[in-house]
Structure 1
């Protein structure tokens, strides 16, 4: 046994990092629990890792560790660890503390400050030998009495079988791919097909029926996007009232095509936690995550989308994204089948000149759509993704270019005209105005941080 002792004395022990936790930027992450008796220690496996790295994963501890505490962790085999913590001081400065531990199967860390969650990247030192957690304690109090050795074997065997002939680049693009009815062409405006958008989610408000007995109501409120097997990305204004309510809960529908009618390939997942950006207000920081109570199983009809990163494509305003949803139609009723629309990204200056109201909405946001042509998102589309198709260099056997879909933003609000039409003075949306999307690129670190520590 190789035992290593490390003392972290606040920010003096190691240098602060501006890069956020040591978590992968490739989505989705497979989430599992290494201890049978607790759920606040989780392991995240990135399917994008090459076969040479399949004994590597991320472990996240969702615990508040008091100041001057000692944490002891042991593994079934020797590991190298990149250790990431968030002290109270580090959180205020927006930084993280990192340290690296080399070649050991057991280590002890002493903290001088209160700790609000920490994570570490685990890399086994023996090729293809997966190191499993065997014990975890804080101040000699054990928190993993029943370690679940071997819980990753099934996933990794599947990855080996399916990915033996794939390159690392192909492995990193497991997200954002349709599994049903592959369409090589940009989608057209109008109805979608079943399976076209396997990451699009329906978000529902669930609560007691007024004056009812043991009955609940279920009301569709907005859209969302599955970005990991237990997280859905949406906008804060859709779910803030649910989070504040003592009687309402959120529910997520995945794999859906019909809004109200049942779909053979869909599932409904309970939401365990609503995570709203700490700085959210009506005009800014309109982004939220929904943590599912249990991970969803990926199928041909339920898949995660990729997240846009600045290096995905060169910055180019001539970009068209696709929005899907069950938003209100011209008859002012929610669409009963999933619809799609192509919307060009619009420069800030063009958007503001078209409607001065836009200027107060464009903090970490962008405009997309058309002006004065009758095509715009409407009520019920909020929370849906502005998604961009990123082509790969290769073509399939039919000559079609393959690629992945990336979330570039989430629909926050529609602009309204100062002079509404006299025929529809109370219309719920203005089809002749641009729509405003929360830009998700500045929130990548926030998203990964919340996924890591929630």
Structure 2
């Protein structure tokens, strides 16, 4: 025992020398779990806590909790697979990767999952028991083999993989069906491949996912954390038949990788549903007719339509016969049709009636029916009903109905009065402010990017306001901006009324004036030396409460910020053509481009008080700027509101390389009001993520869908150019300087009269102008999304023209 213990200590030392011990753990911020017989330690760092877990002797340590401010370490025998997970501030859960994996590498000698049945579905006997079979391998004889409970293991290094003694007297032992980890091979279509192959099938080196050179793209690793887009490894983030990558060759944008298939069968899928839930990826019914009545083509056939969605390419997607399926993450099940004139079409699958799983249908609320929706909250925000859906650090909120990536019990059915619609920020459990679960697997939840309503904000907004771009809080003001890391006020009391302890009075605390000299740790004032997302805090003088947050109000925000409307939009996402009537003045950067005779014919976007961005093809009527005028601050196309401002066009500048984009300089700056506010411009060359939610507005053709004469809006996802250029969509017509957006099944789109108008996408509470409405094949046609000029590619030109023409 002494020798083995010395070996363990040596291994621990080597681990600390050769690499970060935390590499063996999965971290989740804001998560807390309850475990049996937890052990508590006082440590100064996460690494020290990990060492405590590795050296734990009272049980097999599967995870630990670390609270920074309390410097408390809790080692646990449980992890998120064996016990319930809760929300908790200022704590991080670290789980050993090996105990989270339900797959094996090689022969599975180090498999530590929880499978406890044989390949013939016979329950395993516990390794510590002697009935019905007396074991040769037990926890006593092989203490390092992980022989816990009745889990499948491989203590004898059997080449066939993990096994167990069975509970059947007639069968002493049997092997378990543990799938291979997708590191050296792939199951299904390689959606879960996590290996390190970084070369395409023709031998070209892969481009790093975080890079935009030589090929710009919409698969930003930060926006797709669940896809594990690491380095330049081959991955399958978009439902292709197998993993692929962008290449480092300038003449080949992307290519498949040669990943071998795993020798073990893929993970067993559930029986599937006979009705529609969400996008129907698990639908396994027998409907084989499309919405228009066309009969489906068999998935294994190549007539009348050749395709790659075959049972061989998508082995785990239930592509049986000619039944409607969703093998590639579309909006609903579909199929290729037997009609030569219609390549594919969606199917009409009945929705499941169980209220716990049906998809949410949010009725369209028109302006005259809409209740006041504020972009701030009162009290603790329990009654907040706005549409903010990003956190204080800019992470996207997870839909309340969704269980991915965060599993939870805060659902619309369990909290029916909390209005848990879509992924909007809410406060169902009476926390200090609205919050949401995040789509980042490493961050379970965060408070939202909202501030408390001031007395002035709770009143009706004023009609006009004075622009003030430079307004900030005074250095010593008793209010905070953002998370208050730069707060230097003199509040010295916590939110519950406890007196703060002086920062220099306790040497055991890791936050002191000496350790953090630039954090303003004076006396006992509330501060935020660790950048806590929830704001300033302090150690308390209460022996029972180590620390607590302070209630520091937010500083008033500048009255004029680009991309922030004073009237919160409906954000009608889905069903412009088929869109929703906008709330008046909720898109205050939208302008109407008109003839001198006041006839609206195109849209545009206000990007500064004297500049408008529109499409070049909108200026084909005349080369003379005097032929055009710009109308702002309107909701009705007739422009009869008192908020309307009219400006003549002084100069026109068409993008010189031929892009469908033009700048208009107005004859005088507009007055910034609640109805007239510029949109924000993106950073140069930034790419919008695939399936990001964006919005288009305009007074264009409505095709009989209603709302004529008033501004309409519609939201739909961006479609990565790689997907949009597939033969069934726009067949290679979309250039890298353009982007696609729309619903593949049609129904919503920009149309005639919307040209030149904005495509805006929300980022951290502001709307960013990512596209200028340019062209499309018809209006709202299936498989023909709209095409927009990619604004980020032309930021240098925009800035140069504006600076040269002050």
**Which TM-score applies when normalising by structure 1?**
0.52
| Shift in alpha-carbon separation, 1:179–1:196, aligned structure 2, 3 A | same
Give the 3-state SS of the residue equivalent to 2:621 in structure 1.
Answer: helix
CA drift of 1:204 comes to: 0.7
Is 1:366 aligned to residue 746 of structure 2? no
The DSSP-based 3-state class of the residue aligned with 2:671 is: coil
Q: In the alignment, what sits opposite 2:635?
A: 257
Greater alpha carbon shift after TM alignment, 265-274 vs 158-167: 158-167
Instruction: Summarize the Cα distance change of 1:372–1:342 in structure 2 as closer, same or farther, 3 Å threshold.
Output: same
- How far apart are residue 358 of structure 1 and its match? 5.2
Greater shift, 346-355 or 362-371, is seen at 346-355
- Determine which of 349, 352, 368 is the counterpart of 2:725: 352
* Aligned-partner SS, 2:600: strand
User: What is residue 453 of structure 1 aligned with on the other side?
Assistant: 804
Out of 627, 652, 655, the residue aligned to residue 277 of structure 1 is 655
> Once the 2 structures are TM-superposed, how far is the Cα of residue 199 of structure 1 from its aligned partner?
0.7
CA shift for structure 1 position 320: 1.1
- The answer for the alignment partner of 1:340 in structure 2 is 713
Question: What SS is found at the alignment partner of 1:306?
Answer: coil
Residues of 2 paired with 1:374 and 1:219: CA distance? 27
Structure 1 residue matching 2:586: 3-state secondary structure? coil
- Distance in 2 (alpha carbons) for counterparts of 1:166 and 1:223: 39
How far apart in 1 are the matches of 2:772 and 2:685?
Answer: 19
Structure 1 pair 178–166 and aligned structure 2 pair: CA distance change class (3 A): farther
- Does residue 590 of structure 2 align to residue 200 of structure 1? yes
CA contact (8 A) 1:386 1:411 kept: yes
Separation of aligned partners in 1, 2:802 and 2:772: 18
Q: Distance in 2 between matches of 1:438 and 1:224?
A: 13
CA contact (8 A) 1:205 1:249 kept: yes
Find the partner of 2:770 among 382, 385, 408: 408
For the 8 Å contact 1:377–1:431, the answer to whether it is kept is no
Alpha-carbon distance in 2 for matches of 1:232, 1:353? 33
CA 1:302–1:340: 2 relative to 1, 3 Å: same
Deviation at 1:241, TM superposition (A): 3.2
**Alignment map for 1:153-168 (pairs within 5 Å):** 164=474, 167=481
Unaligned runs of 5+ in 2: 1-465, 484-556, 574-578
Label 1:374 to 1:239 Cα distance change in 2 as closer, same or farther (>3 A).
Answer: same
Q: Is contact 1:229-1:304 (8 Å) kept?
A: yes
> For 1:297, which of 656, 671, 674 is the aligned residue?
671
Question: 5+ residue gaps in structure 1?
Answer: 1-154, 207-216, 392-402, 417-428
Matched, 1:177 2:564: yes
Deviations 1:93-148 (A, max 9, x none): xxxxxxxxxxxxxxxxxxxxxxxxxxxxxxxxxxxxxxxxxxxxxxxxxxxxxxxx
Corresponding position: 1:232 with 2:612: yes
SS in 2 for 1:242: coil
Q: Would the alpha carbon gap of residues 315 and 356 (structure 1) be closer, same or farther in structure 2, given more than 3 Å must change?
A: closer
**What SS does the aligned partner of 1:353 have?**
coil
- 1:385 correspondence with 2:758: yes
How far apart, CA to CA, are the structure 2 residues paired with 1:235 and 1:222? Answer: 8
CA 1:172–1:390 in structure 2 vs 1: closer, same or farther (change >3 Å)? farther
**Distance in 2, Cα, partners of 1:362 & 1:355:** 17
Pick the aligned partner of 1:318 from 691, 694, 709.
Answer: 691
1:355 deviates by 4.9
Contact kept, 8 Å, 2:571 with 2:713, in 1: the verdict is no
Following the alignment from structure 1 to structure 2, what is the Cα–Cα distance between the partners of residues 323 and 387? Answer: 7
Contact 2:684 2:794 in 1 (8 A): no
The Cα RMSD (Å) is 3.1
Deviations 1:254-291 (A, max 9, x none): 111000241121111111011111122xxxx1111110
Higher relative contact order (CA 8 A, sep 6+): 1
Shift of 1:431: 3.1
SS in 2 for 1:218: coil
1:438 to 789, 795, 803: 789
- Equivalents in 2 of 1:199, 1:438: separation in Å? 17
2:594, 2:630 within 8 Å by CA — same for their partners in 1?
Answer: yes
Name the CA distance, whole Å, in 2 between partners of 1:203 and 1:230: 14
Secondary structure of the structure 2 residue equivalent to 1:344? strand
Over residues 43-95 of structure 1, what are the superposed CA-to-partner deviations in whole Å (9 max), with x where a residue is unaligned?
A: xxxxxxxxxxxxxxxxxxxxxxxxxxxxxxxxxxxxxxxxxxxxxxxxxxxxx
Deviation at 1:343, TM superposition (A): 1.6
User: Structure 1, residues 191-210: CA drift from partner, whole Å, max 9, x if none?
Assistant: 0011201111000122xxxx
Structure with the largest fraction of strand: 1
Displacement of 1:310 in angstroms is 5.5
1:389 and 1:253 map into 2 onto residues whose CA distance is: 24
1-structure distance, mates of 2:725, 2:653: 30
CA shift in 2, pair 1:228/1:356, >3 Å: same
May I ask how many residue pairs the two structures share in their alignment? Answer: 258
How far apart are residue 234 of structure 1 and its match?
0.8
1:452 and 1:372, CA in 2 relative to 1: closer, same or farther beyond 3 A?
same
CA distance in 1, matches of 2:471, 2:789: 39
